[in-house]
Amino acid sequence: MSISQFIDFPNLSDKRGSLVSIDSSVGLPFDVKRIYYIFGTQKNVSRGHHAHKRLHQVALCISGSCEMTIDNGDSQEKILINSPYKAINLPPMLWHEMYNFSQDCILLVLASDFYNEDDYIRDYKNFKKLLNQ
Ligand code: TYD
């Protein structure tokens, strides 16, 4: 079974151009407390390489594209993120790595809580250990 879950955002585009609105009716699995975005990523850079203990996130490319590998400890999946209408669901305890950012990539992330370094698991062996506890 696939471990990637996507959330569709409503496309309110018309002949003038594109518009996407994200509110509580789109089925986000949490109330958003923080928004951040990653852009201007240099060639051959990969980011992420961590999981979160409790933080839940949803991520989408509002411009350009990137690839992501997600890993729940049992299986890994490589996904392309390239739509302003479709977000990948990143629940807690999901290892994720992002790479192959296009030059115009803006990766927007909606998060369930404030930034907290204590919530990060940055060591893959530790991630596996915590999953098996
Ligand atoms: P980090 O989470 O390591 O980035 P990535 O997972 O994309 O590789 O964050 C990079 C730095 O920015 C790190 O020092 C933590 C800081 N940071 C904040 O202060 N607030 C935030 O909301 C985020 C996401 C990061």
> How does pLDDT run across 57-115, given as a tens digit for each residue?
999 999 999 999 999 999 999 999 999 999 999 999 999 999 999 999 999 999 999 99
**Confidence at residue 62, expressed as pLDDT on a 0 to 100 scale:** 98
Q: Which atom of ligand 1 is nearest to the CA of 117?
A: 15
- The atom number, within ligand 1, closest to the CA of 109 reads 24
56 within 8 A of 29, measured Cβ to Cβ = yes
CA dihedral 19, 70, 95, 132 (to 10 degrees): 130
Ligand 1 pocket member 36 (CB < 6 A): yes
Residues 18-70 have pLDDT tens digits of 999 999 889 999 999 999 999 999 999 999 999 999 999 999 999 999 999 99
Residue 121 has pLDDT above 90, yes or no: yes
Ligand 1 centroid to Cα of residue 57, in Å, is 13
Tell me what pLDDT residue 1 has: 80
Catalytic residues: 50
Question: Is there an atom of ligand 1 within 6 Å of 48 CB?
Answer: yes
Cα angle 91-2-61, degrees, rounded to a multiple of 5 = 55
CA of 36 relative to ligand 1 center, distance in Å: 9
Cα radius of gyration (the chain)? 15
Calculate mean pLDDT across residues 121-133: 97
Task: Say if residues 36 and 84 touch (Cβ distance below 8 Å).
Answer: no
**Strand residue runs (E) in the chain:** 6-8, 34-39, 47-52, 57-63, 66-71, 76-81, 86-90, 95-99, 106-111, 120-121
- Report, in this order, helix, strand and coil percent for the chain, each rounded to 5: 10, 40, 45
37 in ligand 1 pocket by Cβ < 6 Å?
no
Q: How far is the CA of 68 from the centre of ligand 1 (A)?
A: 17
Q: What is the pTM of this model?
A: 0.96
